[in-house]
Amino acid sequence: MSAIPQNSCDTDISGDVIDCKSSEAPFCASSTSHLRRNENTLLFRILEARTTNDTSLADAYAIAHPPTDKRTTVNFDPTLQYVSTTGQHAFIPPGPGDFRGPCPGLNAMANHGYIPRNGIATIDQFVDGTYTVFGMGRDLALILATYGTVLSQQLRGRRVTNERGFIPINNYDVQMSQFRQLYDLQSNVSDPSQVNYDIPLLTSFRVSRFQQSIANNPYFVNGAFSGIAVQPAAYQFIYRFMANKSEEYPEGRLDREVLKSFYAISGSEDQFVYTSGYERIPNNWYKRAIGDEYGMVPFAIELGLIALAHPEFLSIGGNTGQVDTFTGVNLADLTRGVYNANTLLEGNNLLCFVLQAAVMNLPTSVAGLLEGVLNDLAGITCLRFFAGT
């Protein structure tokens, strides 16, 4: 299981209502900004640093965002970016009949009244709420919400078991051993003001978890969509949406207490307590800057940057019933020759692959409709590599 649970939402398509109570859809839907390219953003500068110097992801990140340049990438506006946790947005834990799911961000939004406190909201409410709280791009939010709507309808009423017939451990509560692994990655930082669970650190954690899965889970699968898009989103979203923005850190700094708050963890380091459904927005917390929303373009660019540094993440396949038996699938065969390992990171190919993989296993009637919606939302036209089912 990845570091952050992926949002799942049970949805009534006829009313566009998403019920954030189960694990039926794979991600956290979130919200606003149209596709645009801005060469001044951090992600584009990281890309330039990697292209020019062939450096590691961590080195490129440092080159693109040196300590002396913290204030030049994004303009911090405390008035516009402040997220209220008082008054109508005071924290209220879920009560009987309220629904909470695997997405800490959506749970926190419900607990603070940025979406209905019962955890059931329309797509528009999710989009507006996640923009207000986190600053996710509307394009990305609509894609996630639309996909979650369709997929959860397809899964409604199905009982999921593993190959031996046992019900697996739930995938919506925080697994404390994994949270501890992540938390301890900053244990050597003695100055609390220097703690930061940023993208390079989270990527190193993802590498570790990927290797652990191959070494310990005989049924581990890195799927075409779940592995290429959902898994990285689970890690990238932690920093991109949970980090607290400030004048000193306009791109955000994610410290220990903020991380704990969003994951419903309390207590001292030697005695953590997890309270399911009690995710909360920290006090004195600021979202992403207006105009710096994290939408499809930044997500896809970062996805590609990380894949360049760690090509194993693009390996589609899985273990074959025993640990350490990871067997890959030929990408050209999977996509009927549309993409291969050499072309996947060219142009819009990775984004197109993600959008196509999202619908390739759905019934033809549903896949065709959703495919068009996703392409329109992403603002691109992709070659189709699947026939539908």
Is 110 a member of any domain? yes
Is 386 a member of any domain? no
Q: What angle do CA 39, 304, 198 make, to 5 degrees?
A: 75
Give the predicted TM-score (pTM) of the model.
Answer: 0.78
Q: In sequence order, what DSSP letters do the residues of 283-304 get, joined into one string?
A: TTEE-PPTT--B-HHHHHHHHH
pLDDT for 180-217, tens place per residue? 999 999 999 999 999 999 999 999 999 999 999 999 99
Domain count, the chain: 1
pLDDT for 89-104, tens place per residue? 999 999 999 999 888 9
- Specify the pLDDT at position 217: 94
Is 336 a member of any domain? no
Helix (H, G, I), strand (E, B) or coil at 327: strand
**Which CATH number is 314's domain given?**
1.10.489.10
Is 96 a member of any domain? yes
Is 1 a member of any domain? no
Could you tell me how far CA 323 lies from the centroid of its own chain?
Answer: 27
In terms of DSSP H, where are the helices of the chain?
42-53, 57-64, 78-81, 104-111, 123-133, 138-155, 176-183, 199-216, 231-242, 256-262, 296-309, 331-334, 349-359, 364-378
Domain boundaries, position 234: 10-329
The answer for residues whose C-beta is within 8 angstroms of residue 18's C-beta and 6 or more apart is 9, 10, 11, 29, 120, 121, 122, 123, 126, 145, 148, 149, 152
pLDDT for 222-240, tens place per residue? 998 889 988 999 999 999 9
- The Cα 41–Cα 46 span in angstroms is 9
Is 337 a member of any domain? no
Two tokens, residue 249: 């850190």
Helix (H, G, I), strand (E, B) or coil at 237: helix
For residue 76, CA distances in Å to 79, 111, 153, 364 come to 9, 26, 40, 46
Is 371 a member of any domain? no
Is 205 a member of any domain? yes
Give the gyration radius of the chain's Cα atoms.
20
